[in-house]
């Protein structure tokens, strides 16, 4: 006795579940967006209404942002953060890509143990190396400059080396063999073949480090003394000290500074999110 299966019957349950799936996504998005929306709303309120928990202010005070620019050198801090973050991201992307290319395509004695040793450095907490690293920069006479905020990235990062190595291993080896037969050097192979094919992974690495450097507070607290050299997170700490709990109790000014600090990262994410998807899709095709 045969059973007839009507076409489209198997897809019907998913069609019925799809509205519930979208509602779940909308609810999760609203839940995660609420804290930031609250900060945006509070930054546009007068002092007496900052903590009234209304998402729509009864009285709009956009001059809070003007006050931040008038009473703090936040524009200078923005420039400092931009230069430090771009330098750190460019340094770690370049150095990590070179090291990852070596681990992916060179065969030499001790390659696997050495790669394991590189990965083992990720197990060291920052607090363990904080004092020795500071002493190195202090001996070099750079402990009170912006150089320690980005120059350490010239030596690569274990996480990014691992990430890029895995991506490089998925590239077709026939391209490298053909290039070697044509007399191409290893640098030519890296620059002319590996870099163009790995743009999504390199861009993702750059953005990851850009975000990490932009939002880093610990290193600026350790190394920066001159307010003219402050980055935005360090400057936001100064704003919190001046206008926050231990200062003038003007939390609307502190929250306005927070919006100015986080908004560039949100813009960068929306511009670069397609590279995240492209990187995942490219890696899936090369596996």
Please, which residues have CB within 8 angstroms of residue 213's CB and are 6 or more apart in sequence? 84, 85, 88, 89, 149, 150
pLDDT in tens, 6-48: 554 444 555 556 787 888 888 888 898 899 999 999 999 998 8
What is the mean predicted confidence (pLDDT) over 211-223? 94
CA distances from 72 to 62, 77, 80, 214 (A): 16, 9, 14, 19
What SS3 state is found at 246?
coil
Find the helix packing angle between 232-243 and 251-286, rounded to 10°: 160
- Which domain does 189 fall in, by range? 73-286
Domain membership of residue 16 (yes or no) is no
Domain membership of residue 228 (yes or no) is yes
Q: How much of the chain, in percent, has pLDDT values that exceed 90?
A: 54
What SS3 state is found at 61?
coil
Least confident segment among 29-38, 70-79, 239-248, 261-270: 239-248
Q: How far apart are CA 95 and CA 76, in angstroms?
A: 29
Mean pLDDT of the chain: 87
Residue pair 160/208 in contact by the 8 Å Cβ criterion: yes
Q: How far apart are CA 167 and CA 169, in angstroms?
A: 5
Domain membership of residue 67 (yes or no) is no
The count of other CB atoms within 10 Å of the CB of residue 24 is 10
Residue pair 267/207 in contact by the 8 Å Cβ criterion: no
Domain membership of residue 270 (yes or no) is yes
Domain membership of residue 169 (yes or no) is yes
Domain membership of residue 161 (yes or no) is yes
Half-sphere exposure of 40 (CA within 13 A, CB side): 9
The count of other CB atoms within 10 Å of the CB of residue 72 is 21
pTM, two decimal places: 0.85
Residue pair 103/161 in contact by the 8 Å Cβ criterion: yes
Least confident segment among 57-61, 109-113, 245-249: 245-249
CA distances from 163 to 10, 70, 223, 250 (A): 39, 43, 29, 44
The residue that leads in pLDDT, 111 or 90, is: 90
Domain membership of residue 222 (yes or no) is yes
CATH code, 138: 1.10.3720.10
CA angle 45, 51, 54 (to 5 degrees): 70
Q: How far apart are CA 80 and CA 264, in angstroms?
A: 14
pLDDT recorded at residue 62: 92
Residue 209, pLDDT > 70, answer: yes
Q: Which two tokens stand for residue 271?
A: 């511009």
Domain count, the chain: 1
Q: How far apart are CA 188 and CA 59, in angstroms?
A: 61
Place of tokens 């899936």: 284
Q: How far apart are CA 147 and CA 118, in angstroms?
A: 24
Domain membership of residue 191 (yes or no) is yes
Confidence of residue 1 (pLDDT cuts 50, 70, 90): very low
CA angle 81, 83, 85 (to 5 degrees): 65
């Amino acid at each position: 006795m045969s059973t007839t299966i009507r076409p489209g019957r198997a897809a019907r349950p998913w069609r019925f579940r799809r509205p519930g799936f979208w509602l779940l996504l909308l609810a999760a998005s609203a839940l995660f967006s609420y804290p930031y929306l609250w900060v945006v709303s509070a930054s546009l309120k007068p002092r007496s209404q900052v903590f009234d928990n209304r998402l729509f202010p009864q009285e709009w005070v956009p001059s809070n942002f003007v006050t931040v620019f008038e009473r703090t050198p936040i524009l200078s801090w923005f420039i400092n953060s931009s230069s430090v973050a771009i330098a750190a991201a460019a340094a770690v992307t370049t150095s990590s890509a070179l090291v990852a290319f070596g681990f992916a395509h060179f065969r030499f004695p001790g390659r696997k143990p050495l790669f394991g040793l590189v990965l083992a450095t990720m197990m060291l907490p920052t607090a363990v190396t904080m004092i020795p690293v500071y002493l190195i920069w202090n001996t070099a006479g750079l402990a009170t400059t912006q150089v320690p905020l980005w120059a350490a990235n010239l030596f690569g990062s274990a996480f990014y080396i691992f990430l890029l190595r895995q991506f490089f291993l998925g590239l077709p080896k026939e391209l490298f063999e053909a290039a070697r037969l044509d007399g191409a050097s290893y640098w030519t192979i890296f620059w002319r073949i590996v870099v163009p094919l790995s743009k999504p992974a390199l861009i993702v690495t750059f953005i990851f480090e850009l975000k990490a450097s932009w939002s880093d507070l610990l290193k600026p607290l350790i190394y920066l003394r001159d307010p003219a050299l402050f980055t935005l997170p360090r400057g936001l700490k100064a704003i919190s000290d001046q206008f926050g709990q231990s200062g003038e109790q003007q939390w609307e000014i502190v929250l306005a500074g927070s919006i100015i600090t986080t908004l560039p990262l949100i813009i960068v994410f929306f511009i670069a999110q397609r590279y995240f998807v492209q990187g995942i899709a490219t890696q899936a095709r090369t596996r």
